[in-house]
Structure 1
Amino acid sequence: MIAEFGAFALALALALALLQAAASGAGRLLRSPVLAGAGQGAAFASTGAVAVAFGALIWAFVVSDFSVSNVALNSHTAKPLFYRVAGAWGSHEGSLLLWCLVMTAFGAVLALGRGLPFGLKTSAVAVQGGLNALFLAFTVFTSNAFTRLDPAPVQGASLNPLLQDPALAIHPPMLYLGYVGFSVCFSLAVAALIEGRVDPAWGRWVRPWALASWVFLTIGIALGSFWAYYELGWGGWWFWDPVENASFLPWLAGAALLHSAIVTEKRGALAGWTVFLALMAFTFSMLGAFLVRSGVLTSVHAFAVDPERGMLLLAILGVAAGAAFALFAWRAPGLPKGGVFAPVSRESSLVLNNLFLSAAAATVLLGTLYPLMLEAVTGETISVGPPYFNLTFTPLMAVALIILPAGPLLAWKRADLKGVVQRLTLAFAVAMAAALIALFVFDPMKAMAAAGIGLGVWLIAGAWAELAERIRLFRAPRAEVWRRLTGLPVGAFGMTLAHAGLGLFVMGAVAETAFKIEAVAVTAPGGPVAVAGPWHVTLDDVRIVEGPNYLAEQGVFTVAREDGAGARTLTAERRFFPAGGQTTTEVGLDFRGLDDVYVVLGERRATETLAQAWTVRVHWNPWARLIFLGPTLMALGGLVSLSDRRLRFGVAGSKRG
């Protein structure tokens, strides 16, 4: 009965989304506050209906109602309660229902917004209702999570064991908050094109949505990367997997949108470009939904292999994005051009930032889609991997990051380049010193990697140099410095944290990629696994352990320096899940400051001298902590900026700020 109630609530949500679009659209055409209010009410009601449906699905998973097909295929009575709840969004159908819940909820928040002009707000609510209706219709008619099984199985098939992990349980909700948050930017952009209004006030309205979406997407991508790092046992944190790229594309577009919206808000410039990026960010989000669910690519991150439903998602992408970009092509020539600025100015630095971010996104898009297009046209199957992305993406981003610290120090309209160079002299000296130290400490033969370390330090030092300049740290009395520090807007601290976090990430990514060391051995308990780095690993024992829904071979290892100092014990496992007949790897991680000692227990095997031995892989990953600490700091910086009263949702005024 609960499943039928959930299915009814979902169908009701679709009807309410259609009402939201129709009533809001009619309210805008007729300039009727009554109809516009009805559309806003439908937005709230639609959110409530989807929430009821999602709650019904969670309940079906909690009580193991295997008469519901989605539960039978993705749950099991032996699963811990936490993973039974997470199973509600661990499948194609459940994840789409979560997508619809987030999208309708954001639409309701948009409808609550105060301070937006009547026409712009009503048009945006209508567009958001149309998007809601498209995805709800897809969910109701092709991906309904409440389809019944008759007869019901006694036991379920269980969720993919790889997904039974805390980080990956939280990863989809965070990712969807980012993906779907850009739908509001999309709706505001389409509404602005309809109204012919893209001014500084509009830039201020769109910025908090772009920032919130970018923050959640940063958290979601970081969680997914960390899961891949410690769960898959491959030894790395990013593989340029097509589905990883699908989440990275809206992140890049969102970063460009954030910086472009600043120019639109402060100077009224780049109006058309900011609207284009707002449309593109959500278009990339919809493209990601298509890639993950269509079966056109194979990935451990993919939700479904269903070409028919994939084509329907592609149709949704075509309808929504096609209509929006057609409107953009029609109205863009009439958008305001904004103020004039000199080649050396903050506006110019943000334009360069956007150009490089957009070019980087284009290289990722080409590398992701080219194999699919080639196979569709010629039938030839190829793969595009790290060599391509390292050759194309890395140089573009390196140039963008070199320019980044100078931007906040430049004045609007016209800036003094010589003065900015002087203010960054100390930061440059610190970065050069860091690069030289890295060159001699890690590997004198890897000059490019040392330069990458210097680039990360340059970003951190540049971020703090900008903050020091704001408070006149070295040029004013202590009382004046304190007055300026306490008077700074919260957003200034957020920007400093975000840029410093990016620097930490660059340092960690470069060090882990360039200087990591791997050792592989076949050994029995008591046998060493030599590591060329500072740590030595010994396999002490292998024992059988029983988990809540799995059996595991658990290797017990000792990690110590060559002289035995700093000894610690860690475990690594190979888990077998009887319900699904699958085997997974649980990595052993020993956190040594910023470094990781990363141990993987492989398959049991016999050798000429050993009756029972195991393959063991050990990685020394220097500065790997920074890879995940950096995005955490970036997201924290975004959250700090969101707390700035000037960026509260929907209450922005028309002043340029």
Structure 2
Amino acid sequence: MIAELGQYALIMALLAAIAQSVLPLIGAEKLDSRLMAFGNHASMIQLLFLVMAFGCLTQAYIVSDFTLLNVVENSHSTKPLLYKISGVWGNHEGSMLLWVLILAIFGAAVAAFGRNLPVTLKARVLAIQAMIGVGFLTFLIFTSNPFTRLLVPPENGQDLNPLLQDPGLAFHPPMLYVGYVGFSVAFSFAIAALIEGKVDAAWARWVRPWTLTAWIFLTGGIALGSWWAYYELGWGGWWFWDPVENVSFMPWLMGTALLHSAIVVEKRNSLKVWTILLAILTFSLSLIGTFIVRSGLLTSVHAFAVNPERGIFILFLLAIAIGGSLTLFALRAPALKAGGIFSPISREGGLLLNNLLLSTACATVFLGTLYPLFMEALGGGRVSIGPPFYNKTFIPVMVPLFLLVCIGAHLPWKRADLLGVFKRLKYAGLGSLLALLLAWYISNGGPLLAILGLGMAAWLLLGTLSEWADRVKLFRVPLGKSWQRAKNLPGSTWGMTLAHGGLAIAIAGMISTTAWKVEDVAVLKPGETISVAGTDYRFDGVKEVTGPNYTAVEGTFNVSQNGVYMATLKPEKRLYTVKRMPTTEAAIYSTFIGDYYAVIGDSDGSGGWTVRIYREPLVTWIWFGCGLMVFGGILSLADRRLRVGAPADKRKKQKIKEAQA
């Protein structure tokens, strides 16, 4: 009965989405307030039915209802409750249901918090959001139904992929989906603006909080995924330029460009056409990522290899959404009025250069991701594109961007004195040089590119702090006044400082662990010791342990340095009883300067065990920096000026009353 209720809710959500995609558009065209207001009600109805459908599927997983094919294929009665719940989206059908649920949440949020939006713009935005929902709800109901019943249910299920039975991967997909789907709101605003033929500072202010929300979640989702790969897969790495990693990274790059471009539209009424295009391309990349992952083109723990019909259906949706929006852009964009004029050396110019570099970097990732797929589809055989390609194409584009970020933050609007900017950055330059020399001394002079990279990260961090210090007039006025100025800084300013500073810290971690990581593999017997990067790892043997749905071999390592005890590491090699699939559980001791990382492998049959030991310098800086970026985004989002639907102040309300009188 619960499954049938969920099926019914999906159908009703589709009907609500169809009505929402048509009636508000008609109302906006005819200026019919009742039809335009219908979009608000329909978005809430659609959300209600999708919450009901998602709740029904979740309940089926929790009680292990094996009359549902989806539950059979992705769950088991002995699985811990957390992974029963995460199993809801750990498969194709359930994850698509979560996708459309998040889409409906964003649509309802626009309806609820967009009270200050012009009624025609709001009606069109809600209608376009609903059109996206119609496409994916149709796909879900007719090709990927999560409520398909089995005539003869089995006694138990086939369990979830063991690699997905991890806290990191339980929360990683929902965060990514919020990021992917969140950019749909910017897309809907862009299409609505093209229909109306109007883009102005108010439009940019309405778009920015939705884009920022999506960017925050996508940043957190990517960081969480890289952390999971680092501690779960046992290879000591955090990023491999895997195609499925790339499809989340591309909309992040383009979304970052969109955030900065919208600032120019809001502050200077410039780059309007470019910002509209970025909004379309950012969500288009999210859709392309959905197609790549769902079409069966890739085989990955992240991907769901499905039948060709699903891939063709998504490709059809892709063609309508991307092709239609770009066609509309080509027809309507020339009619948009150009904005203000600015000098190349200005904040506008700096943000435009930021956009161009980010877009070029995204293009290199796009080419590297899709080229092997195109070659294989055209009969050219399998082509592998990995880190060497991106090291030669992506990194050279990003280096000037990182060097220019803190310069751009010091530039005034419209016209700037570049010499004056460099004078304000002289202490940041000196500090960066000292950091570079320190890195040279600690690393004994190499590798040179890594040392230069750390100097670049120091430049970005110190330049960012220098810009903040200029705002509060640090050391130029009494500290009490500087403190007062700091407290009065808007949330968006604090957010920018933390985001740019977090990026610098993350870059330092990425460079350090890539350049100076030390790895050793050995076969050890109990009591033997291996020394890696000046640290001793004494292998004390193994023991068997039993989990709720797995058995494991747990190794024990006593870690010491110069005879001084540091930590005990207990890595595991698990075997899940249903899937009969082994997984690696690395043991990690983290410090400020780096991680001590141990992995237990297979027995050699004569008392010895294969072990892998890694020394990972500054690797935790990656996730600490990403955390600062997320926190900076949250502070920016908390800025009252960026809240859609923020109430007008008392003076404005009084003026409105006087005008009405």
TM bin, normalised by shorter chain, reads over 0.9
Query: Tell me, what secondary structure is at the counterpart of 2:570?
Result: strand
Query: Tell me, what secondary structure is at the counterpart of 1:404?
Result: helix
TM-superposed deviation, 1:638: 0.1
Aligned-partner Cα distance in 1 for 2:599–2:487: 49
- Corresponding residue number in structure 2 for 1:133: 134
The within-5 A match list for 1:373-452 is: 373-452=374-453
Whether the aligned pair in 2 keeps the contact of 1:241 and 1:299 (CA below 8 Å) is: no
Aligned-partner Cα distance in 2 for 1:297–1:173: 20
Aligned-partner Cα distance in 1 for 2:308–2:439: 49
- Corresponding residue number in structure 2 for 1:629: 624
TM-superposed deviation, 1:651: 4.1
What TM-score do the two structures reach when normalised by structure 1? 0.97
- Corresponding residue number in structure 2 for 1:594: 593
Query: Tell me, what secondary structure is at the counterpart of 2:563?
Result: coil
- Corresponding residue number in structure 1 for 2:8: 8
Aligned-partner Cα distance in 2 for 1:126–1:621: 50
**Sequence identity of aligned pairs in percent?**
50
Paired amino acid for 2:63: V
- Corresponding residue number in structure 1 for 2:659: none
Aligned-partner Cα distance in 1 for 2:110–2:593: 42
Paired amino acid for 1:111: A
Aligned-partner Cα distance in 1 for 2:563–2:162: 37
Whether the aligned pair in 2 keeps the contact of 1:505 and 1:628 (CA below 8 Å) is: yes
Query: Tell me, what secondary structure is at the counterpart of 1:389?
Result: helix
Paired amino acid for 1:601: I
Paired amino acid for 1:95: S
Paired amino acid for 2:564: A
TM-superposed deviation, 1:650: 4.0
Aligned-partner Cα distance in 2 for 1:260–1:97: 32
- Corresponding residue number in structure 2 for 1:205: 206
- Corresponding residue number in structure 1 for 2:96: 96
The within-5 A match list for 1:241-640 is: 241-531=242-532, 533-561=533-561, 563-606=562-605, 611-640=606-635
Aligned-partner Cα distance in 1 for 2:321–2:226: 30
Aligned-partner Cα distance in 2 for 1:181–1:322: 20
Whether the aligned pair in 2 keeps the contact of 1:205 and 1:652 (CA below 8 Å) is: no
Aligned-partner Cα distance in 1 for 2:133–2:344: 43
User: Deviation digits for residues 558-587 of structure 1, max 9, x if unmatched?
Assistant: 1111x2213311100110011111110001
Whether the aligned pair in 1 keeps the contact of 2:640 and 2:646 (CA below 8 Å) is: no
Aligned-partner Cα distance in 2 for 1:557–1:593: 21
Query: Tell me, what secondary structure is at the counterpart of 1:498?
Result: helix
Query: Tell me, what secondary structure is at the counterpart of 2:571?
Result: strand
Query: Tell me, what secondary structure is at the counterpart of 1:412?
Result: coil
Whether the aligned pair in 2 keeps the contact of 1:604 and 1:615 (CA below 8 Å) is: yes
Whether the aligned pair in 2 keeps the contact of 1:646 and 1:652 (CA below 8 Å) is: no
Query: Tell me, what secondary structure is at the counterpart of 2:378?
Result: helix
Structure 1 range deviating more: 168-177 or 298-307: 298-307
Aligned-partner Cα distance in 2 for 1:26–1:525: 76
- Corresponding residue number in structure 2 for 1:110: 110
Query: Tell me, what secondary structure is at the counterpart of 1:297?
Result: coil
Paired amino acid for 2:634: L
Aligned-partner Cα distance in 2 for 1:317–1:110: 24
Whether the aligned pair in 2 keeps the contact of 1:9 and 1:52 (CA below 8 Å) is: yes
1:40 partnered with 2:35 = no
Paired amino acid for 1:6: G
Aligned-partner Cα distance in 2 for 1:467–1:529: 47
Whether the aligned pair in 2 keeps the contact of 1:443 and 1:515 (CA below 8 Å) is: no
User: Deviation digits for residues 317-363 of structure 1, max 9, x if unmatched?
Assistant: 11111111100011111112111111210000001100100000000
Paired amino acid for 1:442: S
The within-5 A match list for 1:66-215 is: 66-112=66-112, 113-215=114-216
Aligned-partner Cα distance in 1 for 2:276–2:534: 52
Paired residue total: 649
2:640 aligned residue (635, 639, 645) = 645
TM-superposed deviation, 1:538: 1.7
TM-superposed deviation, 1:593: 2.5
Query: Tell me, what secondary structure is at the counterpart of 1:88?
Result: coil
Paired amino acid for 1:539: F
Structure 1: 5+ residue stretches without partners: none
Paired amino acid for 1:138: F
Structure 2: 5+ residue stretches without partners: 653-661
Aligned-partner Cα distance in 1 for 2:469–2:566: 43
What TM-score do the two structures reach when normalised by structure 2? 0.97
Paired amino acid for 1:135: F
TM-superposed deviation, 1:298: 2.1
User: Deviation digits for residues 148-177 of structure 1, max 9, x if unmatched?
Assistant: 111001000000000000011001111111
- Corresponding residue number in structure 2 for 1:55: 55
